[in-house]
Amino acid sequence: MTRSDPPRSRASAAKDSMTVELGAVIVAVGPDGPRVLVRQPDTSRPAALPSGPLEPHHRTLEAGLRTWVEEQTGYDLGYVEQLYSFGDANRHASARAQPGRILSIGYLALVHEDKPRRMEASEWRSWYEFFPWEDWREGEPAILSAVRDGIAGWIAEAPRDERKSREERARVTFGLPGGHWNEELVLERYELLYEIGLVPEAHRDGAACWAPREAALMDADSLQADHRRILATAISRLRGKIKYRPVVFELMPPRFTFLDLQRAVEALAGVELHKANFRRLVEHQGLVEDTGAKTSKTGGRPASLFRFRREVLLERPASGVGLPPVRRSAKT
């Protein structure tokens, strides 16, 4: 006769439970650049991405996500793709006191900006409010001076056997010292700042950090739980994908000028592009066609209006805007 294990208490069962959360990074391009839709029902806490738990009646993960987004923001999403699963043990420690483990599945959604029907707790925010060091459209961001100082201190105080690896990591992510800037490494840069303790959520989560709490970069806004990490993942994905898939056109109106398209790509990538070179690249890819209409809204001569050639999706598998690598040398 075998002895059965004693039944677990309700508290123990709750502690060991698992909840699946579905979260959306909803991106649009406005006049001032890329925007992300966030919710902040409680202004005493940081904003958060639209999200909600997977429930038994949701037919699929994506169906559950679309349900939560429509309920919270009024949006009926179009283009959606899954990003990543996030399941660190302490990822919700700063967001809510709830027992058990939370597994979050992040999604990227692209929309033509429009006012959500339910705006009482939702708003569009520039994604550069959360990542100001990522916007190089007007030259090197001012906040990078503080970033450099923090990273330099972290390297200087490293044990001898760790200093080289820290220097290499700083060179790859932030182009420091004497390296080059890769606009796609948004997540890697954020994770380095988190590890050092230069973002406030690292201290909020109780992570072991090199930098003290007062050294955190407060000129950049935070988000609840690890939602800023999820947003960084989405920006990295989108910056890479616009080069080989025509996803940028999911963010464009049906008709647009070449300048509209260039500004949208610049805003997403966080770089300034050469006008003539960009136009040649887009025309070479056969991504757009002239509608025959013109607009005088540009302020100068009437500009031609173009539309996306959807036939390109059938013509070849790789059909992005084909941007050449853009490098920004960091100051030493």
Map out the domains of the chain as residue ranges.
Answer: 16-129, 132-220, 253-315
- Give the model's pLDDT for residue 99: 56
For the ranges 48-62, 76-90, 212-226, the lowest mean pLDDT is seen at 76-90
Q: How far apart are CA 88 and CA 276, in angstroms?
A: 46
The CATH classification number of 253-315 equals: 1.10.10.10
Cα of 174 vs its chain's centroid, Å: 17
CB distance 109 to 26 below 8 Å = yes
Q: Which helix (H) or strand (E) holds 61?
A: helix 61-73
Q: How far apart are CA 189 and CA 144, in angstroms?
A: 12
Q: How far apart are CA 15 and CA 98, in angstroms?
A: 9
Q: What is the pLDDT of residues 112-124, one digit of tens each?
A: 876 656 667 888 9
| Residue 203: strand, helix, or coil | helix
Average pLDDT of the chain? Answer: 86
Q: What is the pLDDT of residues 224-263, one digit of tens each?
A: 988 999 999 999 999 999 988 999 999 999 999 999 999 9
Q: Tokens 């000129």: give the residue.
A: 219
The reply to whether 253-315 shares the fold of 16-129 is no
Banded pLDDT at 199 (limits 50, 70, 90):
very high
Give the residues across from 64 on adjacent strands.
none
- Class for domain 16-129, per CATH? alpha beta
- Peptide bond just before 302 cis, omega within 30 deg: no
